[in-house]
A and B are shown apart, each in its own frame.
Chain A
Amino acid sequence: MPRVKELNRIRSSPPIMMDSADAPSSPASSEPAVFSSDGPMESAGIDNYQAPRMKRKFGGAWWDKRDGSAHHNDSGRDATSKKTKLKRNIDSGVWMHSDDTDNDAIAYSLPIAPNPPSEEHDYESDKYDSSQSLENFVHDMVDDGLACHSESYDLTDLGLVDKDLSPLGGLSALIKPPLDPGSRVPGKEYYRSMLPQILLNLSKNSLSRLTPSLFTIEHLTTLMLPNNDIKELPPQIGRLTNLTLLDVCNNRLRSLPYDIIKMLTPRGKLERLSLMGNDLFEMASLHRIITLDSESLLHTTTFERRKAYLDSYRTGLLEGDSAAAVCLTKYLEEVEKVCDPDQVSLYSKISIAGTKETQTPLFHIGNTAPTYYDDAGRRLRGSPRQPTGDGCTADVIVKMKDGTWGSPSSWFSRPGMLVPSLFSLCGKTALEHLSTLETRAMMARSGVELFNLDRFLDIADDNHELVFGPFRNCHQCGKKYVVARAEWLEFWYRPVNFVPFRVEVCSWACVPDEVALE
């Protein structure tokens, strides 16, 4: 019986002997190999898993030609080369995944999140080394954060300037890794979205314009920018559609871009917008309204009291701070349109009739008269100005049920020409293909000097400052433009503020009738 013979042979020649290079290459008498690639049969028995086994290598024609040295079928030399180079020539007899022992090796190759879902790693800025440049520091922090799937980034009080922020764009690649349930059956809490909720804290830096890459982080949900030097928020902020908290306290903002309207609840996801400590244009401060409101109409408003107030306004009993009175009246009228009359308070969330859930209200209160500009960005003669200085010096027009308040004495009606001029069409086409610098150079070469074109290109350069490109997007139609043809301020009520939004449009036709007509 061959089986008996084999066992005997193993006993007589211990497996350790097979390791040596001088192992007998072909013993005088042996069983024929089962597979042609199997080594000499005495290397191991079928049921001996401990002893090393050898496979005979058959080299192709190319094998001998490698590095010139002639290889012969010298089994001794082959054995040594196998020993040194090829490690996995032992058939373990174990099929992968056949038992539990392999589990660890597989699990380590996957990204592993900290096991309890609530415990998130916060990336601190403590280890900042002053010898490093700030941009590199931010870059390293983003890399580290991506590696450990951190969702929270604290860059407070580092003296960052706008260009240091550019590596933050890398955060758009962040994912929330799947939780590792170990060998247990994953419970409900292990099934969660892989979309991250990124928090970015940039407080107390020297930022003024931010950077385009910041607005590519789609899943940024919390953006803290207090105590910076921001004069105007770039309209690109409208791309951060998942933002739920935006804190721009203590900056130098005068108004907000109209793009933010679409982000605010109930239209978008932005729930909290902190604007304190900014020098915003205001038509009437909340303080003035509260002073006026002796009956504390703002806090507990019932239908009867509101009606009484409205009546008192209509009969001309109100004197003194008419702007505040008008704001309050318009607000109450808006509330009346949408609300359950018994559940209204300025400070609480308002339940909107028709929708079940409570939502923060967003009411249009008034707007300034639009300023119209020509192709080269010059204000049309006679067109009203937008407020520039402190406070709101321009008239705010509030349209109420029984009349309009604050209408200017002479109304500048919308210019008739609504077709885009050939000049602006050509200028736009030129800047789609050339930079402002190239355009200037080409015009200089042609020897023609166009005063309007210079102004046009200056405005395109200014756009670079704010929107990081020559074109801006119209707030009404969404088309891109270089020179805003009209602008105005809109005041929207949002607890607890009357927020000014600056609207800029690409053509006179884009001024809506409610704003353009008296």
Chain B
Amino acid sequence: MATINLTEFVTLESSDGFEFKVLRSAACLAGTIKKALDPSYGFREESEGRIKLATINGVTLEKVCEYLYYHQKHAEAKDVPDMEIPPELCLELLIAADYLDI
């Protein structure tokens, strides 16, 4: 059981210490995370299943995780409703999105 959990979920850690456990398949939608978790590169992130995102704070990272699941949910859908982005977060999210390549 423990090994399955390790591979199925990854932990994203924000700059202010919040941790988010996200499905690996969802997290890999972000190009940067996917590369970090690619076993062929052999980063420590891959073996630990844990990524520290030093430039993204907790509030923003929560929204990023919400987007990852939104993306996974609608990946097959034809008519996708836009996700609501709180305007006060949009510039931080822009920086995060650019960094994570989503």
Q: Which chain A residues have a beta carbon within 8 Å of chain B's beta carbons?
A: 418-423, 425-430, 432-433, 439, 442-443, 446, 448, 450, 452-453, 477, 479, 507, 509
For the complex with contacts A428-B82, A433-B87, A450-B94, 6 further pairs of A-B residues with Cβ separation under 8 Å are A419-B70, A420-B83, A425-B82, A426-B97, A428-B85, A509-B79
Q: Is the CB of B78 within 8 A of A450?
A: no
Tell yes or no: B59 within 8 A of A by CB. Answer: no
11 contacts between A and B (CB under 8 A): A418-B74, A422-B67, A422-B96, A422-B100, A423-B98, A425-B83, A433-B90, A443-B91, A448-B95, A453-B98, A509-B79
Top 5 A-B residue pairs of the complex, sorted by shortest distance between their CB atoms? A429-B85, A422-B97, A423-B97, A429-B90, A426-B94
Q: Which chain B residues have a beta carbon within 8 Å of chain A's beta carbons?
A: 64, 67, 70-71, 74-75, 77-80, 82-83, 85-87, 90-91, 93-98, 100, 102
Chain B residues whose CB sits within 8 angstroms of the CB of A442 once the complex forms: 91
If over half of A's interface residues share one DSSP class (helix, strand or loop), that class is named, otherwise mixed; here it is helix
C-alpha gap A141/B79 in the complex (Å): 48
Interface-central residue, B64, B85, B87, B98, by most chain A CB under 10 Å: B98
Chain B residues whose CB sits within 8 angstroms of the CB of A419 once the complex forms: 70-71, 74-75, 77, 80
Known: A420-B82, A432-B87. A426 touches B74 (CB 8 A): no
Shortest CB distance B75–A (Å): 6
Q: Is the CB of B91 within 8 A of A446?
A: yes
Cβ-defined partner of A450 (8 Å) among B64, B77, B98, B100: B98
C-alpha gap A429/B77 in the complex (Å): 22
Q: Is the CB of A423 within 8 A of B102?
A: yes
C-alpha gap A18/B9 in the complex (Å): 107
Chain A residues whose CB sits within 8 angstroms of the CB of B70 once the complex forms: 419
Chain B residues whose CB sits within 8 angstroms of the CB of A439 once the complex forms: 91
Shortest CB distance B66–A (Å): 10
Q: Is the CB of A422 within 8 A of B91?
A: no
Interface-central residue, A429, A442, A477, by most chain B CB under 10 Å: A429
Q: Is the CB of B95 within 8 A of A418?
A: no
Shortest CB distance A421–B (Å): 6
Closest residue on chain B to residue A432 by CB atoms: B87
C-alpha gap A432/B94 in the complex (Å): 14
C-alpha gap A479/B83 in the complex (Å): 13
Cβ-defined partner of B91 (8 Å) among A421, A425, A428, A430: A430
Closest residue on chain A to residue B96 by CB atoms: A422
C-alpha gap A428/B67 in the complex (Å): 15
Cβ-defined partner of B94 (8 Å) among A420, A423, A479: A423
Q: Is the CB of B78 within 8 A of A426?
A: no
Cβ-defined partner of B90 (8 Å) among A418, A426, A477, A507: A426
Q: Is the CB of B90 within 8 A of A421?
A: no
Q: Is the CB of A430 within 8 A of B90?
A: yes
Chain B residues whose CB sits within 8 angstroms of the CB of A509 once the complex forms: 78-80
Q: Is the CB of A427 within 8 A of B80?
A: no
Chain B residues whose CB sits within 8 angstroms of the CB of A446 once the complex forms: 91, 95
Q: Is the CB of A450 within 8 A of B95?
A: yes
Q: Is the CB of A420 within 8 A of B95?
A: no
Chain B residues whose CB sits within 8 angstroms of the CB of A479 once the complex forms: 82
Known: A425-B82, A425-B83, A443-B91. A452 touches B98 (CB 8 A): yes
C-alpha gap A401/B10 in the complex (Å): 53
Q: Is the CB of A422 within 8 A of B78?
A: no
Chain A residues whose CB sits within 8 angstroms of the CB of B80 once the complex forms: 418-420, 507, 509
Shortest CB distance A479–B (Å): 8
C-alpha gap A507/B78 in the complex (Å): 11
Shortest CB distance A426–B (Å): 4
Chain B residues whose CB sits within 8 angstroms of the CB of A453 once the complex forms: 94, 98
Shortest CB distance A32–B (Å): 80
